[in-house]
Amino acid sequence: MIAGSSWSAERVRRVVLALALAGGVLAASPARADLRMCNMTGSRIGVALGYRDPGGWVTEGWWNLSAKACETLVKGALAARYYYVFAVDYDRGGEWSGRSLMCTRDREFTIRGVEDCLARGYDRNGFFEVDTGEQKSWTIQLTDPGRPASSP
């Protein structure tokens, strides 16, 4: 028996074992909350992502997605409502872009700030806005121009 307790050592062992097993089950099946990108095209694509965090604007890239593949861009619950995407089609040329100008570069990058991209030695590209509606999980589907996205 444990001093000052009516619990036996065997009872304590069983409770600890039960808690450990319950923790293992919970850890094995976590709730998924991510920002995912699905490439619904027949081409390989490169993706850059822009977002605002507590320190200001950040752009990151490149995620390389095979045709008909998905990739997690942000792991865990989304902290922002708006994300910005710029993507290029490696096989056929072309891009998915928008009006929000942000900094990029040719190789892997994480860039703080969206001002003076060219003066700081970066490229400047237009990103399109994705409104997640403050959801904690979101999937973006890139499709061929003129072809609607399929349902998730």
What confidence tens digit (pLDDT) does each residue in 31-61 have?
567 899 999 999 999 999 999 999 999 999 9
Q: Model confidence at 20, in pLDDT bands (50, 70, 90)?
A: very low
Residue 63's contacts (CB-CB under 8 Å, 6 or more residues apart) are: 37, 46, 47, 49, 71, 73
**Tokens 């890139």 belong to which residue?**
142
DSSP state of 132: -
